[in-house]
Amino acid sequence: MDKLEDLLRALLHQLRAGVRTKFNRHVSTGDLLSDRWENARECGFGEGTSCYDNVLVLGDVKVGRHCWIGPNVILDGSGGLVIGDYCSISAGVQIYTHHTVAWATSFGRAPIDRRSARIGSGVYIGPNTVIEMGSEIGDGAVIGAMSLVRSKIPSRARAWGVPARVIAIGDEAPPSAENV
């Protein structure tokens, strides 16, 4: 057993060194041993989409083409989740289509609440953002880091905060920090 462990450790060391040399990064063991594009294909996601090994995918999740789904993301499709093409879902993003508040507080008498969520095409979602069930984010929107999306964000909007609020739409420059 010790020889096998030694061989595995040597292999992991070699794989990590290769990733460090090629990409200047350190990734989890799962990502050393898997291919992000293959992970996405296995989930039925669109052509050219990549998905880290440690992404949690639940239920009915549809993801379009050429998306990047970062590490430590939760894609909860138990109520139905659709993500368009050319989206960037940053590290730690959590997208939910259900919650168990009524179920838990009723000691299981109430059903689990479920509502679909939709992310348009060409959307950027910043790190550690939480998107609640029933939310919709329009095409070309940008959601700032650590935001809480609880409703509809229109196309081309720039939104951030807890809860997220629209700061600008389209090509408008966002206000300076002192004006927010």
Nearest one of 139, 147, 178, 176 to 164, comparing CA atoms:
147
Nearest one of 29, 55, 32 to 43, comparing CA atoms:
55
pLDDT at residue number 175: 52
pLDDT at residue number 145: 98
Return the residue matching tokens 């905060």: 161
- DSSP character string of 87-121: -EE-TT-EE-SEE-HHHHHTTT-SPPEE--EEE-S
Give mean pLDDT in consecutive 10-residue pieces for the chain, a chain of 180 residues. Answer: 88 89 86 90 97 96 98 97 98 97 97 97 98 97 98 96 93 50
pLDDT at residue number 180: 42
How far apart CA 74 and CA 51 sit, in angstroms, is 11
How far apart CA 99 and CA 58 sit, in angstroms, is 13
pLDDT at residue number 172: 55
Q: What is the pTM of this model?
A: 0.86
pLDDT at residue number 34: 87
| 3-state secondary structure at position 131 | strand
pLDDT at residue number 100: 95
